[in-house]
Amino acid sequence: MKRERKRKGIERLIVWIAAAVMTAGLVVMNFLISEGIKNEAESLPEGVLLQLKEPLETAEIEAAKIQGYRIKNVGAGEHGREIYEVRGEKERAVLIGKVTDFTRDLFGRPIEGKSMNLSAHRSIALQMGRLAWLAAAIPLSMMLLVLSIRKLGALQEKNWLQGLQGVAIIAVWMAAVYYLTGRLNIPREFLPREQILDISFYIDTVKEFFAGDGWANQSTYQAIRLCYKDGALVYGMWIICAWLGTVLIRIIAGIENRGKGENISRG
Amino acid sequence: MRKKKVWIAGCTVFLLLVICTVLSLRIEKMMRIEVETVRAVQCEEEGMTDMVKIPLSCYKQEENGSFVLFFAEEREGLFGKEWVVQKEESDPLMEEGNMSLVPKSSVFDDQLRPRKIVNYSTWPLEDDDVVVIAGEE
């Protein structure tokens, strides 16, 4: 009996050590990945890209400088349009509503066109690591919630210690999720107008961006696209490793618990 | 056994409600629309001291064709001060380049302070939307 208990203790220790090693490995992997992606994201420019139906006059560009905006012609877009990069003097994000309103305010005449908020894309690219952590924690979160509900179920049998453990797990999990979500700063244009769970909006936004209608040959757009692709590939693989590791640890722990249960029933 | 299952089901429902409540605090903050505001500028022409200028881009056209202005007002919310937009119907009366001349009384408050007028927003606004003023987060 004593030997059996010792064996169980060692097995439990092995599971904990395996979990700790896996977590440490994932943290180190994430750190190494993040450095590369962060450098790529930090090289992306701030400001706004404007694709206008009519080209700007030199005098208009100079007048915009006086208002605190730096404008640079970054090449021709599709259908004979010119593309300009607009940056605010104080390097904060340039907020743009309708292109006609913006051009009327800045250049004194409404010009039809399209815009792309570079600062918003840069902000999202820099936060891919945090989003990856949230995604990686999904299977662990589900397991912890199931475990905590089972422990809360023990309260009904007046097993106060287990009940308290269940409450503690939920409290720690909630604090971790609140902290992680608090560190996110998703630009508002990448969230739906009304419902945050409007999945079709996210799918359409991604499809539209990668279709690159009108921006395809533009180097800044290509740089952003490459950054997203690299991030998705690298963080995607990291998330899969995290999920597989979590499931593996759970299986090992499950086998160990089943063995314990069989011994108890035999005993 | 049945009693335990009912208890667990109840705990699950309660837990989901608590999670949704906690997350909704974060979501509410994330869903605030970012806006840029301007204040009216005094007219410098003689005999127009009662008039001020605001950018034409502040006027938003509604579905029925009328024009509105959105004013950002600070109010006390559940978790401290927050900015809320108030919609007021207003047509651009006199245009001067990319500016509109309006009576001072329409864009100043009771204490004769210029009100914040929404110039740009990341999404079309509606009356009483809670917003975040760009640069003031």
DSSP B45: S
Residue B24 forms contact with A (CB below 8 Å): no
**Closest Cα in chain B, distance from residue A105 (Å):** 6
In a mutational test of the B interface, the residue from A46, A86, A91, A95 whose CB has the highest number of chain B CBs within 10 Å is: A95
How far is C-alpha B1 from the geometric centre of its chain's CA atoms?
54
Asked if residue A124 lies in contact with residue A187, where contact means CB atoms within 8 angstroms, the answer is: yes
Of A95, A105, A152, which is closest to B34 when you measure between CB atoms? A95
Running DSSP on this structure, what letter comes out for residue B43? -
* Residue A96 per-residue DSSP state: -
The interface pTM score, or ipTM, of the predicted complex is 0.81
Nearest Cα neighbor of A61 from A3, A103, A23 is A103
Which residue of chain A is at minimal alpha-carbon distance from B120? Answer: A97
CB A116 within 8 A of CB A131: no
Burial of A42 (0-12, 13-18, 19+ CB in 10 A): exposed
Can you give the three-state secondary structure of A152-192, one letter per residue? HHHHHHCCHHHHHHHHHHHHHHHHHHHHHHHCCCCCHHHCC
Q: Cα A59–A52–A221 angle (5° rounding)? A: 115
Residue A96's pLDDT band (cuts 50, 70, 90)? low
Closest by CA position to B75, among listed B63, B67, B84: B84
Q: What is the pLDDT of residues A9-55, one digit of tens each?
A: 787 788 888 888 888 988 898 888 888 888 889 998 888 888 888 88
Disruptive mutation site among A101, A131, A144 for chain B (greatest number of B CBs within 10 Å): A101
pLDDT of B111-122, one tens digit each? 888 899 998 888
For chain A, what is the mean pLDDT?
A: 84
pLDDT score for B137? 55
Residue A6 Cα, gap to closest chain B Cα (Å): 32
Report the 10 Å Cβ neighbour count for A33: 19
Average pLDDT over residues B24-50: 86
Rounded to a whole number of angstroms, the distance between the first and last alpha carbons of chain B is 53
Is B57 an interface residue toward A (CB < 8 Å)?
Answer: yes
Amino acid letter, residue A123: S
Given this model, what pLDDT does residue A255 score?
Answer: 65
Q: Note the pLDDT tens digit of each residue in A183-223.
A: 888 999 899 998 899 999 999 999 989 888 778 778 889 99
B134 touches chain A (CB under 8 A): yes
Of A108 and A96, the one with more pLDDT: A108
* Domain ranges for chain A: 2-43+123-266, 48-118
**Average pLDDT of every residue of chain B:** 87
CA dist list (Å): A167 to A33, A91, A257, B3, B11: 35, 46, 22, 20, 11
> Has residue A91 got a pLDDT over 70?
no
